[in-house]
Chain A
Amino acid sequence: MSVDTSAIEDVFNEPGCGRNDNKTAAERTMGCTRQLKPGEAGGGCAFDGAKIALQPFTDVAHLVHGPIACEGNSWDNRGSASSGSDLWRRSFTTDMNETDVIFGGEKRLYQAIGEVIGKFDPPAVFVYQTCVPAAIGDDIKAVCKAAVAKFGKPIIPVNSPGFVGSKNLGNKLAGEALLEHVIGTEEPDYTTPYDINIIGEYNLSGEFWQIKPLLDELGIRILSCISGDGKYHELACSHRAKAAMLVCSKAMINVARKMEERYGIPYFEGSFYGVQDSSNSLRTIARMLIERGAPLELGGRTEAVIMREEARVRAAIERFKPRFKGKKVLLITGGVKSWSVVAALQEAGLEIAGTSVKKSTKEDKDRIKELMGRHALMIEEAAPRDIYKMLMNSRADMMLSGGKSQFVALKAMIPWLDINQERSQAYMGYIGMVKLMEEIDKALYNPIWTQLRRPAPWDEAEVNRQTNIPHTDSHAAENSTAVRGHSSAAGFKERANASGRWVVGHISAAQATCAVQASE
């Protein structure tokens, strides 16, 4: 086994990690390794997490050392955007074969590095360790070292075999690789008092560009974004920033904390989701820069921009409020960003039927409670069956989640919107907030729902025959409910209760009787 255990242990003991703080000593020794029970749930591996965290560095080659499984099954699946190089979109893997497994894959890896450099001449190569080479003892650190000597370029080992733990752990292992091998190795051409780092932001669907114009307007320079639309040189110089923002995720807290420790760069954790959070974040950036020597007038200019943007966005979301009134949304985000999304939705007048808190820290949960009230419905396990139960019980009008659970909602004829990493829409900053509301509105009021929830005429006749109920006018039922139909195809029956709320659930023919009666 060739796994750098000290580095992994170090990450487990990350003092900034809220999740670890909540654990008992015994739990903590388990670290993030065993979140998953065999046959009970699914989640990405540490390699997945490391790749997610680093791949948005656009001008470097990301070379995956392992058999075809790790990279061949997963590449080209993320929508980070680049303003320059597209090298990051190419996939590089050693595609180890049986011979490599028997005799070791180090030679192939070394040659692969040479090939990549020969063909693409990137400023650096990131080499990812995966399960099989780790288990047979390939020492990627040594190979990278040899390759550095030979090719005279930074070759960065990322020690992330999948079996060491979860995606979240992988994010942090990626951060360790940056701290150990990249950050502080080059110097910027010049610095300004307005230089900041953004940490843990991946620029999915180019969403960071929704906020960047405001920073530009204020004269704030992003010295390095780790890692969305990032470039190697900027990353290597990032130790010269005056302040840093850790974008709401806890994924790379080790990077933020250690950069503070080593280079004296203070950081705060903030988010650009939702109006309030966007404003707070801009304000905090300005304050921290001023504290570190930027002119005082930055504060005034920032306030002016915030005031202008807030007024614009409030005016824009006003039109959604009557349409969202009484509408309930179920949030399945994995939990890391839950609170910031909750706040965003509430600003537009949506009710939150419940939220998943699987990956939330204690602080996250406290914030959710603060926003949603003490009786906030939170679920720990977000297996499809649990989500389904929650959808039914909470009588949600809509679900927001990542792509993997979309079918739980869609097949039950409940509107759904992707708010996870694979999404193709961008929801950041003030503009993003309005965009999100537009998408929710489109989903809620799409005319397909009334059509799809109608049973086939012959199925309806069947129910009525069985239950001996006179045929009800389904059009009338439809009209009385703006969104929900009177009953759905495929057995997801619904009805209105006295308060006019729609109940969704799979009900038997006998129950269908009262359902139809109640709606009459």
Chain B
Amino acid sequence: MAIVSTSEKSCTVNPLKMSQPIGGSFAFMGLRGAMPLLHGSQGCTSFGLTLFVRHFREAVPMQTTAMSEVEAVFGGQENVEQAILNIYNGAKPEIIGINSTGLTEIKGEDVERFIYLIQQKHPQLERLPLVYVSTPDFKGAFQDGWDKTVARMVEVLVHPVETGRARDPARINVLPGCHLTPGDLNELRTILEDFGLKPSFLPDLAGSLDGQIPDEFTPTTIGGIGVDEIATMGQAAWTIAIGAQMQRAAEAMYAKTGVRFRLFERLCGLVPNDEFIAFLSKISDRPVPLKYRRQRGQLADAMLDAHFYIGGRKLAIGAEPDLLFDLSSMLYDMGANIAVAVTTTASPVLQRIRTEEVLIGDLEDLEELAKTHGCNLLITHSHGRQAASRLNIPFFRAGFPMFDRLGAGHQLSVGYRGTRDLIFGLANLVIADREAKHQPTPDTWRSVDRDFKTVPSYPQ
């Protein structure tokens, strides 16, 4: 049981956290023909856009209602209206997803009502889905924006199903948390299809951000799940939610359509994947394909090879709650010692992280704690690179944003194969670090302290 505490500082130094509204926009990017729209001043969108482009190295659609000082005082209905009309006429989207920002929330604007009035006034907009989600910047974090937005999509876009209606036993809804990469989604799709299942991902970032080259230039998202497909998700036999953040959306789906759900809090590691594959085998009523039996063997072998390097490592990790839970649990299972865990926002999984204390804080906290605990592996997003170089310890990049390495969208952590690759990546990093920095010298053993405490203790 970890104790969860919150940093008491007034000044955040080197933020780990990103804001809620862009987490919401991110979710909208997994819909086909979508235009995410931030209701706020122009800078919020511009910063979000730059962040996504740096991470994915893809064209990213995002728009702003461009609130100025005057409208900030007198209300932004006209801006919302103009933005919607301009997007409708220019980008011809299939859906516009609107997230509020801090500026538009302090006035307590009733944007749902704006949208209603705008649709009344402009009949051509009647058929264009406009989904609004309240996501003030001064609350929560990136992950919260995603989870609220996906739940809202379910509430607004999925058609209700009468009880007793026959379901398609092969159809599966997948609600992925924002800690999964497009590469992860592609992997999951393959696994599900290998069991003869037909998955619908909501949202489907793999469809829009997995590095495709579109046939034609498009100002909206280039792929993802269509509004039509979302509408029929109620016909699925099961909903699989991945990450605790997706509980809310899974419940919304159940409430609206009666589709049963199973929540997998993590999909990285041997045991969680055993559960996952067994579950798929059960619901599809098919034996586990040979491919996955082999992959399981490969993962087991990878764990054997890598435990020499990962076992006993003192780890400092900074990530959003679900990613933190996911990676730290896998690494704990590999014998690592989760000495320091820092996160961005509250979540039920935090208490169950295999460490003594989880701090809701920033990268300065992560760096200082890693120093005092003598950590020898740092895991966080790209902003942690300065800390890692000051600490002079190996640094593994995980999460969003990852702007100083290529292939962020393809990094894998789910499934047996994804876990295997991740373990190799981490172990190789440790090996390279040892070769580069820790060759023994005559002085190596001089500085060891009196009671010969050289071996890091294993987690209990």
Tell me if A34 is interfacial: C-beta within 8 Å of chain B: yes
Q: List 27 A-B contacts (CB under 8 A).
A: A1-B72, A34-B66, A36-B64, A39-B65, A42-B46, A43-B42, A44-B42, A48-B47, A66-B102, A67-B138, A69-B44, A69-B101, A72-B12, A72-B18, A76-B383, A77-B51, A89-B386, A95-B17, A98-B139, A109-B10, A113-B11, A131-B102, A162-B44, A163-B67, A403-B53, A407-B58, A408-B217
Tell me if A136 is interfacial: C-beta within 8 Å of chain B: yes
Residues of chain B at the chain A interface (Cβ within 8 Å): 9-15, 17-19, 21-22, 37, 40-51, 53-54, 57-59, 62-69, 72-73, 79-80, 82-87, 90, 101-103, 106-107, 136-139, 141, 213-217, 219, 362, 383, 386, 403
A74, B51: Cβ atoms closer than 8 Å: yes
A45, B37: Cβ atoms closer than 8 Å: no
A111 to B9, CA, bound (A): 9
A97 to B344, CA, bound (A): 13
Tell me if A122 is interfacial: C-beta within 8 Å of chain B: no
Residues of chain B contacted by A90 (CB below 8 angstroms): 13-14, 386
Which 3 A-B residue pairs are closest in the complex by CB-CB distance? A45-B43, A39-B83, A112-B11
Q: Which of A69, A116, A136 contacts B11 (CB 8 A)?
A: A116
B141, A68: Cβ atoms closer than 8 Å: yes
A412 to B64, CA, bound (A): 26
A95 to B13, CA, bound (A): 10
Residues of chain A contacted by B42 (CB below 8 angstroms): 36, 42-45, 162, 166
A162-176 interface code vs B (CB 8 A; 1 in, 0 out): 111110000000000
13 more contacts with CB within 8 A, not counting A69-B19, A112-B9, A491-B216, are A34-B68, A43-B46, A45-B42, A46-B43, A47-B43, A71-B12, A96-B102, A111-B11, A132-B106, A162-B43, A166-B42, A388-B217, A412-B217
Residues of chain B contacted by A46 (CB below 8 angstroms): 43
A91 to B48, CA, bound (A): 17
B102, A108: Cβ atoms closer than 8 Å: no
Tell me if A487 is interfacial: C-beta within 8 Å of chain B: no
Residues of chain A contacted by B85 (CB below 8 angstroms): 39
Given A38-B65, A94-B11: A69 in contact with B90 (beta carbons within 8 A): no
Residues of chain A contacted by B64 (CB below 8 angstroms): 36, 38-39, 42
Residues of chain B contacted by A489 (CB below 8 angstroms): 213
A37, B44: Cβ atoms closer than 8 Å: no
Given A1-B73, A43-B42, A48-B43: A67 in contact with B215 (beta carbons within 8 A): no
Q: Which residue of B lies closest to A170 (CB)?
A: B43
- Nearest-Cβ distance from residue B16 to partner chain A, whole angstroms: 8
Residues of chain A contacted by B83 (CB below 8 angstroms): 38-40
- Nearest-Cβ distance from residue B86 to partner chain A, whole angstroms: 4
A418-453 interface code vs B (CB 8 A; 1 in, 0 out): 000010000000000000000000000000000000
Q: Which of A34, A75, A384 contacts B59 (CB 8 A)?
A: A384
Residues of chain A at the chain B interface (Cβ within 8 Å): 1, 3, 33-34, 36-40, 42-48, 63, 66-77, 89-98, 100-101, 108-109, 111-116, 119, 131-132, 135-136, 161-166, 383-385, 388, 403-404, 407-408, 411-412, 422, 489-491, 506
A68, B216: Cβ atoms closer than 8 Å: no
Residues of chain A contacted by B54 (CB below 8 angstroms): 77, 403, 422
A98, B41: Cβ atoms closer than 8 Å: no
Residues of chain A contacted by B59 (CB below 8 angstroms): 384, 407-408, 411
Q: Which residue of A lies closest to B90 (CB)?
A: A40
- Nearest-Cβ distance from residue A120 to partner chain B, whole angstroms: 9
A384 to B46, CA, bound (A): 14
A64 to B42, CA, bound (A): 17
A489 to B65, CA, bound (A): 36
A89 to B21, CA, bound (A): 25
Residues of chain B contacted by A67 (CB below 8 angstroms): 19, 102, 136-138
Residues of chain A contacted by B53 (CB below 8 angstroms): 403-404
Q: Which residue of A lies closest to B40 (CB)?
A: A131
- Nearest-Cβ distance from residue B98 to partner chain A, whole angstroms: 10
Q: Which of A48, A92, A135, A404 contacts B103 (CB 8 A)?
A: A135
- Nearest-Cβ distance from residue B450 to partner chain A, whole angstroms: 33
Given A112-B11, A163-B72: A42 in contact with B49 (beta carbons within 8 A): yes
Q: Which of B14, B51, B107, B213 contacts A73 (CB 8 A)?
A: B51
A111, B10: Cβ atoms closer than 8 Å: yes
Residues of chain A contacted by B72 (CB below 8 angstroms): 1, 131, 135, 163
A354 to B386, CA, bound (A): 40
